Structure 1
Amino acid sequence: MGTVTSTATSAMPTPLLHASPAVGFEQPFEMLEACHERVKRSLDLLQRLGAHLDAYGADTQAAAAARDVLRYFDIAGPLHHEDEERHVLPRLRASGHGALAERLQADHTALSAAWQEWRTVLEGVCAGRWDIRAAGRVRAGWREFETRYEAHIAIEEAVAFPSAAHGLPADTLAAMGHEMASRRRSPPQPATTPGTPA
């Protein structure tokens, strides 16, 4: 029996992943860093979900956590990557940091591709499915996904954001924040997951 469906329960509180950060879009680079904190919380929830699945299977708490992770990486994650591709990477290229910009763009592509595999597993969890035969591979993949994201975030915060923000006038920062906010007024909808209303 490779797939476990469990009705056992355990305390696995999920963080409020979609609360508005303390900073606003009038501070766009601070907003990008606040989004990184939400990425980290979502990645932490993914790891805790893996441990919960090993102990309890795909119960209702696991399904709720899986839906939270899906919502973040289906909606907010792509918007965040687009922020960087519109406003950070072009400034890096223009300021002589082209190699860094290409590395970060490649990271986005690789992370997005990895997410497509893991979202399929999470959709299964939402439907009460967890294949214990694949658990080791999946959890190792989730750890690698987290490690890659953390390395990506670290170079952005240490080098990319300071370089891109250097010397930007207030009106340019305001326009950047306005564009970021405008795209979020009608964010893309996530793919429908089993047990989730369309």
Structure 2
Amino acid sequence: MTSFPVLHASPGAGFDEPFDMLTACHEKAERMLILLERLARHLEECGADADAAQAARDITRYFDVAGPAHHEDEERHLFPALTSQGLPARTAIIEKLQREHLTMSEQWKTLRIDLDQLVAGRWPVNMSTEAFGRWATFAALYRGHIAAEETQVYPAARQLLDDTARDAMGCEMAQRRGVRWHRSWAKRPF
């Protein structure tokens, strides 16, 4: 029986460093994509058992909650700052990434149905090949998207956003997640 890992947030990422938070979210997304791939192998080898259902719940929880919040962080804070410069190449990559956010959201809806069926104990064996193809497509798109953000968007946004803008970004990210936070709290000696 395959055991799936318990996945935790990256240590040290906090709202006082919003870019670290965004990168930690990418790391978590990658762990969920790996878990999705492992789940496909597990289903082929062991079938739809309790471990598979738990992995499906973990993946669903991430892509239902953290994934959309992460995309919203980028859409609210990074993308507008970069497109406001009016540089055609930057605007083109931002528009591409925004389209990918929409595509990933649409693909997720179908994957979620797959995972819901698995959790509910209704995983039809004849669906595996089709489902696994969807999962692989989703993972490939997500990985390419992450790579573009980390190599093109995050470095440019880091240079563009000053400390005040980063503070506001971190505070707003915390508020949308229902966390009371202020940058000055991170500097308290406890």
Q: 130-139 or 113-122: which moved more?
A: 130-139
| Cα shift readout 1:67-117 (whole Å, capped 9, x = no counterpart) | 000000000000000000001110120122211111010000000000000
Q: Specify the code of the residue in structure 2 equivalent to 1:108.
A: H
Higher helix share: 2
**In structure 2, what is the Cα distance between the partners aligned to 1:140 and 1:70?**
18
Instruction: Indicate the residue corresponding to 1:178 in structure 2.
Output: 171
- Work out whether residues 53 and 130 of structure 1, in 8 Å CA contact, stay in contact via their aligned partners in 2: no
**In the aligned structure 2, how far is the partner of 1:110 from the partner of 1:167?**
27
Structure 1 position 15 matched with structure 2 position 6: yes
Aligned residues: 176
Aligned counterpart, 1:130: 123
Q: Give unpaired runs (5+ residues) of structure 2.
A: 180-190
Give per-residue Cα distances to partners, 1:47-66, cap 9 Å, x unaligned.
11111111222111111110
**Offset at 1:165?**
1.9
What TM-score do you get using the length of structure 2 for normalisation? 0.88
Equivalent in the alignment of 2:138: 145
1:106 equivalent among 95, 99, 121: 99
Using the alignment, how far apart are the partners of 1:164 and 1:112 within structure 2?
24
Q: Which has the higher contact order (CA 8 A, sep 6+)?
A: 1
Q: CA RMSD in A?
A: 1.3
Output the CA distance in 1 between the equivalents of 2:4 and 2:139.
20
TM-score where L is the length of structure 1 = 0.85
Stretches of 4+ aligned residues off by more than 3 angstroms: none
1:190 corresponding residue in structure 2: none
**Could you tell which deviates more after superposition, 49-58 or 115-124?**
49-58
1:35/1:183 Cα in 2 relative to 1: closer, same or farther (>3 Å)? Answer: same
Separation in 1, partners of 2:14, 2:174: 9
- Choose from 66, 69, 73 the match for 2:59: 69
